[in-house]
Chain A
């Protein structure tokens, strides 16, 4: 699955981090780093983390192009 975090919006509340620690982590006190292409097994965790974000900065792919087809 693909995600992107709008780091302009992200204010480092870190509500997401404990919900999907393999995908989202803090560098220092408030800089968020994330894996933009987490394993499918992380989906439920990522969706929960995205829902928990107070500023809704985590964008999860809502449309998946077919295999081998970037359309």
Chain B
């Protein structure tokens, strides 16, 4: 028997009898399970999730659900086919034994795998002070259960809501509060809302939008302490500029933490950034060597992107979870020549204050911005981001129909400023600095060090910052 036919037989056997475990039962986990069956995997499939709920959609949680229009339990994701999996819901994975190919669960069970998909995503970053974070009336929103509790608190008629942080989710929640007629304060350490993702120029526009809607937006300010009444319910917030606020509901909207703790000691390139993988979704080990049987998809995946100088980029975008899951599933059950790359053009959206914000590319990779269409004053416009003479991203406010035009330019690294689309151009459109935060600010990112004294024992390890 030739080597090629032997390999073909092994692949056929794996598809018929292999064991695949997916850790993470949200959007990426579900779509990967469906894609595996779609593409002919007939073996044993196990899906592990720490939440008791079957996979649900998260974007409605900060909008329709908080508003009270949609019940929190009504966001279960539509199914596209039967997946015939063994669903282990409500039990978290706590460890990975790569030598014996087993996932360890919180209840003591061990699940054997031949191939593993890591899709454990991210969780909400809690308020920095754990004692204050545990007070009644202090929330984060990531899960369906979070949204249920916050929705009830908002509809109980609080005197004032404080939202800490004004990224997309924080801004969307502020918008909902306005809609519900609740007094709301937003504090933001940066110069304006959405600055991390879209820069200060767009941040100024977003700030005006919030203030016009009645949000008490305070920029360049941090929350120093949350104070409670005798019953342990938050009642007051002290700010870094000396102000105090009487509040009954506080929502920490401080971004996310990647769910990598369960991988500690497994020797994968996992840490603060997520899990490193190649463009085919194969995980790297800690030394940067690609693994053969461990794959990564969704928010937790961090892969080099050809359009962005091969920088490792993780994307917490809905589309990235779906397309990453499909590519990972394909590559898990195919040989090298049938494998495909995951090279998404990042796309995101946000609905807030009656405006549809959509974007493509990695805007924060650019350092210049130019308004290309519409009117920034009227909050109906398109703007492009550039770096070194190439377009790298674009954002639209109520101009979504033009997004494809910019996507095509970004995909072929077209010149920046981009050629005018021939319609609706603002006067005097010249590039200006986009004003992203200085990337040199120190962070809590751990250090990686090389260990071993000779080439045969050489390896890498993470050292946490203390």
Chain A residues with CB under 8 Å of chain B are 2-4, 6-8, 10-12, 27-37, 59-65, 70-71
Contact = CB atoms under 8 A, between A and B. Distances in A.
Contacts of B74: 35-37
Interface string B304-319: 0000000000000011
A63 B81 CA distance: 5
B70 A8 contact: no
Contacts of A3: 78
B356 A28 contact: yes
29 contacts: A2-B77, A4-B77, A4-B78, A6-B319, A7-B349, A8-B319, A11-B400, A11-B401, A27-B351, A27-B356, A28-B354, A28-B355, A29-B398, A30-B398, A30-B400, A31-B355, A32-B351, A34-B60, A35-B64, A36-B74, A59-B80, A61-B79, A61-B80, A63-B82, A65-B54, A65-B79, A65-B82, A71-B82, A71-B85
Given A4-B57, A4-B78, A62-B79, A27 B84 contact: no
B104 interface: no
B211 to A, nearest CB: 17
A37 B75 contact: yes
Interface string B48-69: 0000001001011001100001
Contact of A33 (B54, B63, B77, B80): B63
Nearest to A63: B79
Given A12-B400, A28-B398, A33 B78 contact: no
4 A-B pairs with least C-beta separation: A28-B354, A37-B74, A31-B351, A61-B78
Contacts of A28: 351, 353-356, 398
B69 A37 contact: no
B64 A34 contact: yes
Nearest to B63: A33
B71 interface: yes
A5 to B, nearest CB: 9
Interface residues of B, number: 39
Given A36-B70, A63-B80, A71 B87 contact: yes
A49 to B, nearest CB: 15
B339 to A, nearest CB: 25
Contact of A71 (B70, B75, B84, B354): B84
A2 B401 CA distance: 26
B79 A36 contact: no
Contacts, number: 98
Contacts of B135: none
B105 interface: no
Nearest to B404: A11
Contact of A70 (B64, B69, B70, B87): B87
Nearest to B86: A71
Contacts of B318: 6-8
Contacts of A63: 79-82
Interface of B: 54, 57, 59-60, 63-64, 69-71, 74-85, 87, 89, 318-319, 347-349, 351, 353-356, 358, 380, 398, 400-401, 403
A59 B354 CA distance: 24
A35 B76 contact: no
B302 to A, nearest CB: 21
Given A8-B319, A36-B57, A59 B355 contact: no
Given A7-B59, A8-B318, 20 more contacts: A2-B76, A2-B78, A6-B318, A7-B349, A8-B348, A8-B358, A29-B380, A31-B355, A33-B351, A35-B70, A35-B74, A36-B64, A36-B75, A36-B76, A37-B76, A62-B81, A64-B79, A70-B89, A71-B85, A71-B87
A5 B347 CA distance: 14
A62 B400 contact: no
Nearest to B79: A63
A1 to B, nearest CB: 8
A33 B355 contact: no
Nearest to B67: A33
A29 B396 CA distance: 13
Nearest to B319: A8
A13 to B, nearest CB: 8
A12 B401 contact: yes
Contacts of A32: 351, 356
A40 B81 CA distance: 19
B57 to A, nearest CB: 6
Residue with the highest number of chain B CB atoms closer than 10 Å, among A28, A64, A70? A70
A6 B77 CA distance: 12
Contacts of B403: 11
A32 to B, nearest CB: 8
B264 to A, nearest CB: 29
Contacts of A59: 78, 80
